[in-house]
């Protein structure tokens, strides 16, 4: 592993040599032929179908999706590399349309499968190997599925009902313009631009940005709140009254294939651990020279180190930390570099942030970074390569079972980041760098674990309040109480934050989605604690967990890894890791 790593753009050649060459044209043609063939199989879908026929139909479907993913990913990656490229944008739109047509034309398979009575489905499923969990999971919703005419009515009415309300919420809030004085000049900003100001070093500017955000949302709070009340009632009527889920959150839990009591325990443990982040925020106040942190300041920058990590050194460091855990991890990550699937340059027009894109099980994933040499960027590299390793460990699975379920999707990425940070903390002599690394970890943990957990706790409460007839003002008051519980005496929360909830699209569009972030991140911290305690004996269990991808139920995988997510003590382990990080910060800050 003595390669030199240079910062460059990626190559998409292993997908197609060019966006308009013969290969890609052939792919489009193939897609059409295979889909037409697939449609002809429809008459085979009866109770009398043999297992061999069933498997061959699934394989035909998988083959269609493999081609679909290749062309759509090509467009998506090409566009990410240069968002100013109109040809790439055109191809993105064309392939999106194509994939949506494909799924419509092949939808009859999953509809048939979900509807098939248990007595036929159960024996068919046995012996389907890697497809088993995928087939099983599709049928989870069967007990909550209504008759076909009822489902049709719900679908039809949803288009102009709750879905239209969701779109309306987007349309209204996307039009908002924010006016903030920046460097003596009043600027008109989008929400994205406005939110970048809350990370400014100027405390007044941070405050002005939030005040403007909630002035705008506050002006419309009564109407946005009313929309929320309607969405919540619709959710209750459909999920609880008609589909017979026990509670409003149960419908989401089933989608994540997690039992209600696990999520209950998770959220309760978060509620009991507000102290960790309160200590962190008190420390942050001290570091930015404030008596007490205001809610305006929670994203204030504290980075101190100015020593950049040169790219080759960063890459070597990340690979070394993977290798220290298991040489195979480093070899897999090396593949991303060796095949030129990594775009790390900072270029005009390139998509910001970072991601890892897995196209198909038979191709090495692509990773996009905007590497600028900060300790933060090194951690991001470990995170995204962690995603790639997760995919590659599961590359022996089918397209339908390679990807880990949502609650497990961040496991390898966050774990990879933890390993790297640990190693850098052990080696790094520069206190400023150590401090920056730890701050980043706890900052991220706040945003992905605790903030999301408190949104979910609020959603649970708000769903009940709406049914009990609460007004928008009463819900806003409850939201304020939620913030006060979360921040205790560590953070001063200004009055306008009571309108924050009407500004969170997730709670409108995908109720109870947010806890998946909490679950995923806290799970990894708790796993990391197990690794520290168990050492070598932990590794095979962990590697098995990752290699399973999405081929088994999350609870089964976690059970096999010896992890009991039903127990509060397990989740507490995650907070213990965070608490130790805050201890370290208190010593060096
Ligand atoms: Zn991630």
Strands 366-368 and 185-189: unpaired
CA of 414 to the centre of ligand 1 (A): 7
CA distance 555 to 11: 38
Cα 234 to ligand 1 centroid, rounded to whole Å: 32
The radius of gyration of the chain from alpha carbons, rounded to an integer in Å, stands at 25
Q: What is the pLDDT of residues 263-306, one digit of tens each?
A: 999 999 999 999 999 999 999 999 999 999 999 999 998 877 77
How remote is the CA of residue 381 from the centroid of ligand 1, in Å? 11
Q: Exposed e or buried b for every residue in 107-132, given b needs 16+ CB within 10 A?
A: eebeeebeebeeeebeebbeebeebe
pLDDT given for residue 2 in this prediction: 45
pLDDT-above-70 percentage for the chain: 99
Distance 471 CA to ligand 1 centre (A): 38
Rounded to the nearest angstrom, the distance between the alpha carbon of 574 and the centre of ligand 1 is: 18
The residues near 305 (Cβ < 8 Å, ≥ 6 apart) are: 374, 375, 430, 432, 433, 435, 436
Q: Compute the distance from residue 286 Cα to the ligand 1 centre, in Å.
A: 30
Euclidean distance between CA atoms 546 and 542, whole angstroms: 6
pLDDT digit string, tens, across residues 457-496: 999 999 999 999 999 999 999 999 999 999 999 999 999 9
**Distance from the alpha carbon of residue 447 to the mean position of ligand 1, in angstroms:** 13
How many whole angstroms from 526 Cα to the centroid of ligand 1? 17
Distance 385 CA to ligand 1 centre (A): 10
Q: Are 59 and 52 in contact (CB under 8 A)?
A: no
pLDDT of residue 579: 97
Q: Ligand 1 centroid vs 383 CA: distance in angstroms?
A: 6
- The C-alpha atoms of residue 449 and residue 454 are separated, in whole angstroms, by 9
Name residues whose C-beta falls within 8 Å of residue 56's C-beta, 6 or more positions apart in sequence: none
Ligand 1 centroid vs 355 CA: distance in angstroms? Answer: 7
pLDDT tens-digit profile of 3-51? 579 999 999 999 999 999 999 999 999 999 999 999 999 999 999 999 9
pLDDT mean values, one per 10 residues, the chain (589 residues): 78 96 96 97 95 96 96 96 93 90 90 93 94 95 89 87 91 93 93 90 96 98 98 98 97 96 98 97 94 95 81 96 96 97 93 94 97 90 97 97 93 94 88 86 93 98 98 98 97 98 95 94 93 94 96 95 94 96 90
CA 111 / ligand 1 centre spacing (Å):
32
Report the separation in Å between the CA atom of 364 and the middle of ligand 1, taken as the mean of its atom positions: 17
CA 560 to ligand 1 center in whole angstroms:
24
Ligand 1 centroid to Cα of residue 289, in Å, is 32
What is the distance in A from the centroid of ligand 1 to the CA of 175? 30
- Tell me how crowded residue 351 is: count the other CB atoms within 10 A of its CB: 17
Query: What separation in Å is there between the alpha carbon of 155 and the centre of ligand 1?
Result: 33
Q: How far is the CA of 487 from the centre of ligand 1 (A)?
A: 26
> Are 264 and 570 spatial neighbours (Cβ–Cβ below 8 Å)?
no
Which structure tokens are listed for 304?
């101190």
Distance 366 CA to ligand 1 centre (A): 13
Q: How far apart are CA 483 and CA 485, in angstroms?
A: 5
Q: What is the 3-state secondary structure (H, E, C) of 413-438?
A: HHHHHHHHHHHHHHHCCCHHHHHHHH
Q: Cβ(520)–Cβ(407) under 8 Å? A: yes
CA of 387 to the centre of ligand 1 (A): 7
Q: Ligand 1: distance of its center to the CA of 416 in Å?
A: 10
Distance 525 CA to ligand 1 centre (A): 14
Q: Read off the pLDDT of residues 564-580 as tens digits, 9 standing for 90 and up.
A: 999 999 999 999 999 99
Distance from the alpha carbon of residue 131 to the mean position of ligand 1, in angstroms: 26
Ligand 1 centroid, distance to 75 Cα (angstroms): 21
Name the nearest CA neighbour of 81 among 351, 352, 369: 351
Distance 181 CA to ligand 1 centre (A): 34
- Quote the ligand 1 centre to 374 CA distance (angstroms): 18
Q: What percent of the chain has pLDDT over 90?
A: 83
211 alpha carbon – ligand 1 mean position (Å) = 31
The per-residue pLDDT for 3 is 57
Q: How far is the CA of 13 from the centre of ligand 1 (A)?
A: 25
Quote the ligand 1 centre to 411 CA distance (angstroms): 8
């Amino acid at each position: 592993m003595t390669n030199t790593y240079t910062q460059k753009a990626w190559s998409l050649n292993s997908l197609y040599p060019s966006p308009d060459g013969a290969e890609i044209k052939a792919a489009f043609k193939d897609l059409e032929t295979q889909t037409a063939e697939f449609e002809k199989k429809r008459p085979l879908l009866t109770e009398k179908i043999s297992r061999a026929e069933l498997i061959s139909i699934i394989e035909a479907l998988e083959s269609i999706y493999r081609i679909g993913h290749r062309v759509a990913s090509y467009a998506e990656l090409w566009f990410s590399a240069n968002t100013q490229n109109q040809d790439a944008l055109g191809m993105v739109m064309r392939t999106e349309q194509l994939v949506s047509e494909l799924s419509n034309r092949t939808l009859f398979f999953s509809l048939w499968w979900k509807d098939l009575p248990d007595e036929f489905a159960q024996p068919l499923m046995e012996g389907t190997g890697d497809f088993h969990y995928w087939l099983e999971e599709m049928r989870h919703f069967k007990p909550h599925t209504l008759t076909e005419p009822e489902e049709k009515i719900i679908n039809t009415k949803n288009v102009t009902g709750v879905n239209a309300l969701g779109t309306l919420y987007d349309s209204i809030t996307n039009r908002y313009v924010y006016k903030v004085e920046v460097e003596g000049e009043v600027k008109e900003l989008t929400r994205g631009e406005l939110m970048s100001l809350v990370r400014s070093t100027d405390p007044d500017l941070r405050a002005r940005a939030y005040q403007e955000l909630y002035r705008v949302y506050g002006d419309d709070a009564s109407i946005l709140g009313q929309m929320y009340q309607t969405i919540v009632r619709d959710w209750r009527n459909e999920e609880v009254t008609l589909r017979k889920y026990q509670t409003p959150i149960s419908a989401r839990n089933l989608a994540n294939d997690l039992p209600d009591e696990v999520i209950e325990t998770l959220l309760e443990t978060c509620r009991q651990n507000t102290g960790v982040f309160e200590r962190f925020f008190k420390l942050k106040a001290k570091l930015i020279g404030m008596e007490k942190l205001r809610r305006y300041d929670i994203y204030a920058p504290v980075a101190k180190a100015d020593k950049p990590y040169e790219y080759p050194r960063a890459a070597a460091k990340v690979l070394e930390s993977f290798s220290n855990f298991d040489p195979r991890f480093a070899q897999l990550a090396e593949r991303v570099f060796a095949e030129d699937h990594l775009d790390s340059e900072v270029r005009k027009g390139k998509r910001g942030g970072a991601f890892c894109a897995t196209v198909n099980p038979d191709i090495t994933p692509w990773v996009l970074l905007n590497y600028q040499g900060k300790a933060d960027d090194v951690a991001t590299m470990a995170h995204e390569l962690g995603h790639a390793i997760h995919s590659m460990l599961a590359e022996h699975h089918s397209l339908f079972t390679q990807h880990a379920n949502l609650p497990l999707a961040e496991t390898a990425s966050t774990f990879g980041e933890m390993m790297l940070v640990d190693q850098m903390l052990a080696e790094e002599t520069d206190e400023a760098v150590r401090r920056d690394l730890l701050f980043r970890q706890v900052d991220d943990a706040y945003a992905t674990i605790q903030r999301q957990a408190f949104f979910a706790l609020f959603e649970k409460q708000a769903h009940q309040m709406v049914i009990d007839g609460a007004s928008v003002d009463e819900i806003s008051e409850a939201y304020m109480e939620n913030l006060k519980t979360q921040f205790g005496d560590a953070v001063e929360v200004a009055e306008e934050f009571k309108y924050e909830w009407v500004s969170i699209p997730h709670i409108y569009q995908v109720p109870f989605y947010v806890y998946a972030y909490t679950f995923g991140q806290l799970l990894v911290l708790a796993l990391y604690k197990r690794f520290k305690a168990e050492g070598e004996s932990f590794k095979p269990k962990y590697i098995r967990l990752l290699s399973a991808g999405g081929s088994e139920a999350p609870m089964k995988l976690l059970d096999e890894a010896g992890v009991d997510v039903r127990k509060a003590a397990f989740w507490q382990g995650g907070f213990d890791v965070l608490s130790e990080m805050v201890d370290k910060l208190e010593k060096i800050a």
